[in-house]
Chain A
Amino acid sequence: MVFQNLNFQINDGDFISLIGPNGSGKTTLVKMIMGLEKKSSGDLTVDHKQTIGYVPQFRNIDIDYPLNIEQFVRLNLKFTLSPKRRQSDNQLIERILEKTGLTALKNRPLGLASGGEKQKAYLAQALLNDPKVLILDESTASLDVEVKMQLMDLVAELNQNENLTVIFITHDYELTKKYTHRALFFRDHELQEVDVKDVSEDMFEMGG
């Protein structure tokens, strides 16, 4: 995969969208940022490499998936035998569930949760290790408009209140306009930064 003209900087507290048709390299760039994919040339510096929370696009959660929402979020906890650490882990879980509006739903099996609840659970799990950067990979695709807005409101709140940097991969014109502050537009492995004001609907149409 080759990127040309790739020159940009993402700052602390940015809310940035990666837009462009399928196969234009959005996910590849994100994987490079996370260190999951190698690059052949060029410089890529990531400051907070250890604390990126990534919410992937696809998950294999079917109707018989056994874990409830709280237990699913807990998967991202580290192993510990210390009672003190256990207690602080429990408090952390409570806090994250509260923050993502999942407290009342924590005993619901994830397989039976709605699309929006699932996305919130994925988000909660990614937030567990207190990331400085949150990457959302098409997290709003296939959600109802109302649920989409709810999820994005939540993310926007985290971005505002906790200075969380958000990288939002999306095919959604409205959400890009409404929530993000900057946009990186991908086409044929070329990348240009566009002002969110200048993002137009046809940037989402090709192959999207």
Chain B
Amino acid sequence: MFEYEFMREAFIASTFIAITAGLVGVFVVSRNMSFLSHTLSEIGFAGASFGILVGISPLAGMIIFTLISSVAVGSLSSESSRREASISAISSLFIGLGILFLSLSSESSSYATNILFGSIVGISSKEVNQLMILALFVIFVFIIFYKPLSFDSFDHIGARAAGLKTRLLSVAFLVTLALSVSIGAQIVGSLLVFVLLTLPGATAKYLVHSVPKLIMVSVGLSLAGVWLGLYLAFVTNWPVTFFISAFEVIAYFLGLSYKNWKLNH
């Protein structure tokens, strides 16, 4: 299948997507931000359709929308119940906006399907380069903040007690999360990008017990999911998103069963 250029591009792009999503996902899970990453992907959808409406690229629209909203969320009330409610209110608004932008623009409905559900054929080599740069930026930020971010994500109270600047870390993390959502949506679509951002990280939790190992397992599961998904999508002509989510969900429940089995033995 690698004789087709679009498949080569799709493989390169999804490899970078899987690495960033698997890496960021470990921290999404440990910071209890699965719900927020779901909302960010809906906001990303509105951003992408806004981009189409005003004539900039969907990726740029997505990045603008998710960046602004992630920083806004970071400064929201830290009371978690109120934050959840505010986030879900905001997310419904953005779904509506996304639909409005799309209907105002002259693009066909297949464009909308691509943004929402992902596509492997839509990626040009220029877009692949953009994705790679963004992915490398996210990885770079994680290397710089690795230690304090791990402390804050896996023991927020302890990190505060030790005098870490947890507010700054939170903003830095939200920025990388926004970028990862925008990157990931290009292949799996904005509605399912949170599959890659949450499930591999959640599965890893049941299997290993240190931060570096969590990252390795999460990235591994995420890579396995997109590679297998692309291959099966190519062979069957079914949507790649279906295979990716099916793989990650099965891996999650296997991980959960493994943990329960281990507890009883």
Write the residues of chain A forming the contact surface with B, with a CB cutoff of 8 angstroms: 34, 36, 54-56, 58-60, 64, 66-68, 71-72, 75-79, 107, 109, 112, 122, 125-126, 129
Compute how far the CA of A64 lies from the CA of B158 in the bound complex, rounded to whole angstroms.
18
Name the segment of B48-56, B101-109, B201-209 touching the other chain. Answer: B201-209
Name the segment of B33-41, B84-92, B149-157, B183-191 touching the other chain. Answer: B149-157
Q: Does B167 lie at the interface of the complex (its beta carbon under 8 Å from any beta carbon of A)?
A: no
Chain B nearest CB, measured from A114 CB (Å): 15
A67-B211 in contact given A60-B157, A75-B150, A75-B151 (Cβ < 8 Å):
yes
Residue of B nearest to A75 (CB): B151
Residue of B nearest to A78 (CB): B147
10 closest A-B pairs by CB: A79-B147, A68-B209, A54-B161, A66-B205, A71-B210, A75-B151, A56-B157, A56-B161, A109-B209, A75-B155
Compute how far the CA of A86 lies from the CA of B208 in the bound complex, rounded to whole angstroms.
22
Q: Which single member of A36, A58, A72, A79 contacts B154 (CB below 8 Å)?
A: A72
* Contact B209 A125, beta carbon cutoff 8 Å: no
Question: B interface, how many residues as a size bin?
Answer: 20 to 34
Compute how far the CA of A109 lies from the CA of B161 in the bound complex, rounded to whole angstroms.
22
A66-B214 in contact given A75-B151, A79-B147 (Cβ < 8 Å):
yes
* Contact A58 B157, beta carbon cutoff 8 Å: yes
Compute how far the CA of A66 lies from the CA of B214 in the bound complex, rounded to whole angstroms.
9
* Contact B210 A77, beta carbon cutoff 8 Å: no
Q: Which residues of B contact A126 (CB under 8 A)?
A: 158, 161-162
Chain B nearest CB, measured from A70 CB (Å): 8
* Contact B154 A76, beta carbon cutoff 8 Å: no
* Contact B158 A79, beta carbon cutoff 8 Å: no
Chain B binding surface SS class: helix
Chain A nearest CB, measured from B117 CB (Å): 31
Q: Mark B132-172, 1 if CB is under 8 A from A, else 0.
A: 00000000000000111011001111111111000000000
Residue of B nearest to A107 (CB): B209
Q: Which residues of B contact A107 (CB under 8 A)?
A: 209
* Contact A75 B154, beta carbon cutoff 8 Å: yes
Q: Which residues of A contact B151 (CB under 8 A)?
A: 75-76
Q: Which residues of A contact B154 (CB under 8 A)?
A: 66-67, 72, 75
Residue of B nearest to A71 (CB): B210
* Contact B211 A72, beta carbon cutoff 8 Å: no
Compute how far the CA of A125 lies from the CA of B146 in the bound complex, rounded to whole angstroms.
18
Q: Which residues of A contact B214 (CB under 8 A)?
A: 66
* Contact A71 B157, beta carbon cutoff 8 Å: no
* Contact A64 B161, beta carbon cutoff 8 Å: no
Chain B nearest CB, measured from A148 CB (Å): 21
* Contact A59 B157, beta carbon cutoff 8 Å: yes
Q: Which single member of A71, A76, A109, A122 contacts B211 (CB below 8 Å)?
A: A71
Compute how far the CA of A138 lies from the CA of B210 in the bound complex, rounded to whole angstroms.
28
Compute how far the CA of A36 lies from the CA of B208 in the bound complex, rounded to whole angstroms.
35
Compute how far the CA of A41 lies from the CA of B201 in the bound complex, rounded to whole angstroms.
48
Q: Which residues of A contact B157 (CB under 8 A)?
A: 56, 58-60
* Contact A66 B209, beta carbon cutoff 8 Å: yes
Compute how far the CA of A60 lies from the CA of B214 in the bound complex, rounded to whole angstroms.
19
Chain A nearest CB, measured from B253 CB (Å): 14
Chain B nearest CB, measured from A75 CB (Å): 4
Compute how far the CA of A92 lies from the CA of B211 in the bound complex, rounded to whole angstroms.
19
Residue of A nearest to B202 (CB): A64
Chain A nearest CB, measured from B215 CB (Å): 11
Compute how far the CA of A71 lies from the CA of B205 in the bound complex, rounded to whole angstroms.
13
Q: Which residues of A contact B30 (CB under 8 A)?
A: 66
* Contact B146 A79, beta carbon cutoff 8 Å: yes
A75-B158 in contact given A66-B214, A67-B210 (Cβ < 8 Å):
yes
* Contact B206 A64, beta carbon cutoff 8 Å: yes
Q: Which residues of B contact A76 (CB under 8 A)?
A: 151, 158, 162
* Contact B155 A72, beta carbon cutoff 8 Å: yes
Compute how far the CA of A79 lies from the CA of B151 in the bound complex, rounded to whole angstroms.
11
Most buried by A among B146, B158, B210: B158
